A and B are shown apart, each in its own frame.
Chain A
Amino acid sequence: MSKEVVLDCFGEACPVPLVKAEKALEKLEINDILIVQIDHSCAMKNVPEWARKQGHNVEIEEIDDGEWEVIIEKVK
């Protein structure tokens, strides 16, 4: 059964969400899902870009005006 971890990064300025996401994803197993919640627009660019570059599946959902969830599925 794959795990799902929610990482609350609301109020954190870039690059803190990225660094946190990097560390959190390291601990996860393959097929686990990491949900990074952010409200700093800059992190909206570099978190998905970083995750896609690493080869993971990434989805972005705008949960409210200026608040997003980056959903990362660890594939390797």
Chain B
Amino acid sequence: MTTGIQRSSSSTRRSPRKKKKNQIPFAIGLLIVIILIGIWLATKENHQALYWMLGLAFGFILQRSRFCFTASMRDPYLTRSTSVTKSVLIAFAITTIGFAAIKYGYFIQELAIPGQSYIAPISIATAVGAFMFGIGMVIAGGCASGTLMRIGEGFWMQVLALFFFVVGSLWGAHDYGWWMRNFMLAGKRVFLPDYLGWFGGVLCNLLIIAVIYVIAHKYGNKKSESELH
């Protein structure tokens, strides 16, 4: 998009354009290394190569799309921009359907449903923890995936964030049992299909996401309209 902004020569001189390095040879080398590691992992254990590919694909999409969970929560406050918020909501809707499909698959085969231990009891601890995480991720400039991605991009400041992220995670894991016994178990584990049925559970989730989406969409458009007048 070119708008043809005329810059005076003084500022152009202040930022001399360095000749960019050609990254293609490096990219080809990296691709070969990635494939070799993939082949090596395929010989190890069945799923390792798949995890390798999924992880790389996830990171690549995250980086290219500038997807950022932090921005999805922060930008509505800062600039009223909700475009990232909406894309995160769409991602939630897709994963809702995907996870429900996986779980339902196990359910109809009368196998143990995977991932049920991740259903955390609803309690005030969830809200307090989410609030604290929110403050932390805005200061650190990224959530877990965002921090990792930006270190990969070469943003060194976030190596610091990663270090304390690891420290905090270890500390959290160390005392997790205590928090679980004293706070989290006060709440109730809710697995929506137990209450609303499988279809009802998915529908309930999607409806909530749709309502938030509509609110986010209206909120995002509001300011630009009022500023035109």
Which residues 60-96 of B have a CB within 8 angstroms of A?
63, 66, 68, 70-71, 74-75, 78-81, 83-84
Q: Would you call B81 and A42 a contact (CB within 8 A)? A: no
Question: What CA separation (Å) do A50 and B220 show in the bound complex?
Answer: 11
Chain A residues, Cβ within 8 Å of B63: 41
Chain A residues, Cβ within 8 Å of B224: 53
Question: What CA separation (Å) do A24 and B68 show in the bound complex?
Answer: 25
With A42-B71, A50-B79 as known contacts, state yes or no: A4 contacts B5, CB within 8 Å. Answer: no
Q: Would you call B5 and A18 a contact (CB within 8 A)? A: no
Question: What CA separation (Å) do A71 and B7 show in the bound complex?
Answer: 9
Question: What CA separation (Å) do A75 and B18 show in the bound complex?
Answer: 30
Judged by a CB distance under 8 angstroms, whether B184 is at the interface is no
Q: Would you call B68 and A57 a contact (CB within 8 A)? A: no
Judged by a CB distance under 8 angstroms, whether B17 is at the interface is yes
Residue of A with least CB distance to B15: A63
B30 to chain A, nearest CB (A): 15
Question: What CA separation (Å) do A11 and B156 show in the bound complex?
Answer: 8
Q: Would you call A42 and B66 a contact (CB within 8 A)? A: yes
Q: Would you call A39 and B7 a contact (CB within 8 A)? A: no
Chain A residues, Cβ within 8 Å of B7: 4, 33, 35, 71
Q: Mark B186-229, 1 if CB is under 8 A from A, else 0.
A: 00000000000000000000000000000000000001100110
Which residues 132-186 of B have a CB within 8 angstroms of A?
138, 140-142, 146, 150, 153-155, 157-158
Q: Would you call B15 and A15 a contact (CB within 8 A)? A: no
Q: Would you call B81 and A50 a contact (CB within 8 A)? A: yes
Residues of A within 8 A of B (CB): 4, 6, 11, 13-16, 18-19, 22, 33, 35, 37, 39-42, 44-46, 49-50, 53-55, 57-59, 63-66, 69, 71, 73
10 further contact pairs, Cβ within 8 A, besides A22-B79, A41-B63, A59-B5: A14-B70, A35-B11, A40-B150, A42-B70, A46-B75, A46-B78, A63-B18, A65-B20, A65-B21, A73-B3
Residues of B within 8 A of A (CB): 1-3, 5, 7-8, 10-11, 14-15, 17-18, 20-21, 23, 63, 66, 68, 70-71, 74-75, 78-81, 83-84, 138, 140-142, 146, 150, 153-155, 157-158, 223-224, 227-228
Residue contacts A-B, CB under 8 angstroms, 6 given? A40-B155, A41-B155, A46-B78, A49-B79, A49-B83, A59-B2
